[in-house]
Amino acid sequence: MEKMPHWADIVLIPLISLVLSALLSALVILAIGENPWTAFKLMVDGALMRSSGWGYTLYYATNFIFTGLAVSVAFHARMFNIGGEGQAMLGGLGVALACLYIPWPHWSLAILGASAGAAIFGAFWALIPAYLQAKRGSHVVITTIMFNFIAAALLNYVLVSLLRPRGSMDPASAKFPEATHLPTFRDMFSTADNILFRGAPANVSFFIALAACVLVWFLIWRTKLGYEIRAFGHSESGAKYAGISPVRITVISMLISGALAGMMAINTTMGESERLVLNFTEGAGFIGIAVALMGRSHPFGVFLAAILFGFLYQGGAELALWTDIPRELIVVIQALVILFTGALDNMVRMPLEKMFLALRKGDA
Amino acid sequence: MDFLSLVQLLDTTVRLATPLLLACLAGLYSERAGIFDIGLEGKMLAAAFFSAAFAYTTGSVWLGLLAGVGVSLLLSGIHGLASITFRGNQLISGLAITMLASGMTVLIAQDWFKQGGRTPQLEGAARFEPITLPFAEALKDVPILGPVYQELISGHPILVYIAFALVPLTWWVLYRTRFGLRLRAVGENPASVDTAGVSVVGLRFAAVMICGVLCGLAGAYLATALQAGFVKDMTAGRGYIALAALIFAKWRPWYALWATLLFGLFQALELRPDLIETVIGIKVQGQLLGALPYILTVVILAGFVGKAIPPRAGGEPYVKER
């Protein structure tokens, strides 16, 4: 018998964790002498009440959908891919190479090519940790952490020594050609007398992120491979007994995970900066962990959680602009969400389970 | 490369290896007891900020050290609560603690000192000053040994000597005391320890708390001895390098010393790229040196050069049979 109804598990527990994180964050804001309610209203005003605010919120959300899906796919195979950051950096390299060295006739073709480049490079960066986990039993968390740092050093080297245009001091690649520039929301949704999403970086890759959500859902719940991944995640020995190869599932799910994390770069590198810059990931790989935990590893949950974190990011930027609250408040909120939904899950779950059991006894 | 610059290079190595060594030993206690800790970085960072902030405010570096250790212990307590009491995921908890520290330190620093997330420069008694060992000046002119004694061995802050003394102490505690035997057992086979009537929860909490104290020392060293004050994200991945060193050392104290000295040497060489060029005649990229600890660790993990086998019960919450 289930200890509590399914809806409580997927809706109530994340909500309670979110409320706990929000309360603690409110205390932090109080402690530094600001009013939490005004701060919250500022965030809502800046992120949701104007189309340009939405343009930023959805831009950040696009990144978090990709990295959140990446972490989720690995979670389904009971692996913790903490290397989204490094895989996204390599993805950026894939995007840059595809955009700089292939003469694309039109952005619609360029985005397909760049997505492929991002996915291949990201997947490649996940391949070695996956192989070591599958064949050598070295823990994928440790190797992906190491690969984050190796990726940062590699990106630094490539940008400073190889891709930097002659005479430029900036550690960044050359500007991508005009034909690869992606249409922004402003280009797509504005009419002549009503300009929407002014100056906001949200672009067409948001829809690719939505497509990725649907594809991941289809993969995990509607295909044989997805079934095998979930079976492996529930019980490795059971999966083995059913003839599922642990090596194959480990490697394939990490490859998918790495590819998704890498694809984040089409949004930032191709859609926003239109060149490869240092630190373009801005910790999105780690936010993916919070998003996946919050969204219970389901693509729809990931979508909602990504929007929430997009709102927090844009709202946080507004706060830093108008008050004395630094942007780092968002990092604190993010840490609290990860702490409550991930590590202290049982703290929220145990009393709830007791409550539901008591309720059920009352009915009987 | 002349003799003096070699001695200076090794001197820098020792200074840079010290925080790695302290954090590595911290991780060693925790992981030997079966609690993975990827939050070393966060605890160091929080300790670095609080030690610098308290040292600046009170003017006493020792009060600063106390505050640093205190906050590191608090974070250790959260990690223990999440991973021992509530049997949560230890890796997720460690990550959350690191993020919490990286956000909170800047938030508090900005509110406290209003200098863009840093503390003011520490001076005088608010810093750990180098200690000159006896006869260092007198022996300076003795060939070879003189400069080695004066430059390399003498003239470090007290925390450096504490860190190095902790290596034999850790070895002794782990391999020669009853507590150490139980600590290692609880990381390999907690059920057996439980059967013997010793509290698994108690032992693991003790290990996590020792880890907190050592991370506190590491952070305080960074902000009050190696540098004079706290700056945003000043640990710069040292917690993860310490983690790498721990794997490199195969979870053993003496190897931890050699591993952290090696990684400290890489960091020292990164500061002096000219030295490598004069010795081997090839220009080595600074980024490569920075990434070497991680690359070496992956190679070790891959099992090509000896196999690193972690404590068997590492990462697994212990559930008592009923």
pLDDT in tens, A236-287: 888 899 899 999 999 999 999 999 999 999 999 998 888 999 888 888 988 9
CA–CA min distance A178, chain B (Å): 32
Q: Is the pLDDT of residue A210 over 60?
A: yes
Mean pLDDT, chain A, rounded, equals 89
**What is the pLDDT at residue B322?**
62
- pLDDT at position B120 is 85
Q: For the residues of B171-239, what is the DSSP string, one character each?
A: HHHHHHSHHHHHHHHHHH-HHHHHHTT--HHHHHHHHHHHHHHHHHHHHHHIIIIISSS--TTTTTTHH
Which residues in chain B land under pLDDT 70? 1, 304-308, 322
pLDDT grade, residue A358 (50/70/90)? Answer: confident
Which residue(s) pair with A191 in the sheet? A194
- pTM of the predicted protein model: 0.89
Nearest by CB: B93 against A32, A286, A339: A339
* Chain centre to alpha carbon of residue B322: 39
pLDDT value of residue A330? 86
* Neighbour tally for B274: CB within 10 Å: 11
Chain B: closest CA distance from residue A35 (Å) = 14
Residues 76-105 of A with CB under 8 A from B: 80, 82
Query: How is residue B141 annotated by DSSP?
Result: G
Backbone angles phi and psi of A355, in degrees to 5: -65, -45
B interface mutation test: which of A32, A127, A146, A353 has the most B CBs within 10 A?
Answer: A146
Instruction: Tell me: pLDDT of A192 over 80.
Output: no
3-state secondary structure chain A: CCCCCHHHHHHHHHHHHHHHHHHHHHHHHHHCCCCHHHHHHHHHHHHHCCHHHHHHHHHHHHHHHHHHHHHHHHHHCCCCCCCHHHHHHHHHHHHHHHHHHCCCCCHHHHHHHHHHHHHHHHHHHHHHHHHHHHHHCCCHHHHHHHHHHHHHHHHHHHHHHHHCCCCCCCCECCCCCHHHCCCEHHHHHCECCECCCCCCCCECHHHHHHHHHHHHHHHHHHCHHHHHHHHHHHCHHHHHHCCCCHHHHHHHHHHHHHHHHHHHHHHHHHHHHCCCECCCCCCHHHHHHHHHHHCCCCHHHHHHHHHHHHHHHHHHHHHHHHCCCCCHHHHHHHHHHHHHHHHCHHHHHHHHHHHHHHHHHHHC
Q: Would you say residue A211 has pLDDT above 90?
A: yes
Gap between the Cα atoms of A194 and A207, Å rounded = 22
pLDDT score, position B307: 66
Instruction: Give the model's pLDDT for residue B80.
Output: 94
Q: Does position A2 have pLDDT exceeding 70, yes or no? A: no
Q: How high is the pLDDT of residue B66?
A: 94
More confident residue, A87 or A181: A87
Which ipTM did the prediction report?
A: 0.88
List chain B residues with CB under 8 Å of A293. Answer: 92
> Looking at CA atoms only, how far is residue B39 from chain A in angstroms?
12
Using the beta-carbon criterion (under 8 Å), do A149 and B298 form an inter-chain contact?
Answer: no
| Residue range A191-218: mean pLDDT, rounded | 89
Query: What does pLDDT average to over chain B?
Result: 87
Q: How many CB atoms lie within 10 A of CB A185?
A: 22
Q: Which DSSP helix (H) or strand (E) runs through B7?
A: helix B3-32
State pLDDT tens for residues B289-318. Answer: 888 888 888 887 777 666 667 788 887 888
Give the model confidence (pLDDT) of A70-126 as tens digits: 999 999 999 989 999 999 999 999 999 999 998 988 898 999 999 999 999 999 999
Point out the residue among A146, A324, A332 whose CB comes nearest to the CB of B103.
Answer: A332
- For residue A57, pLDDT beyond 90: yes
Res B97: pLDDT: 94
- Tokens representing B289 are 């040196």
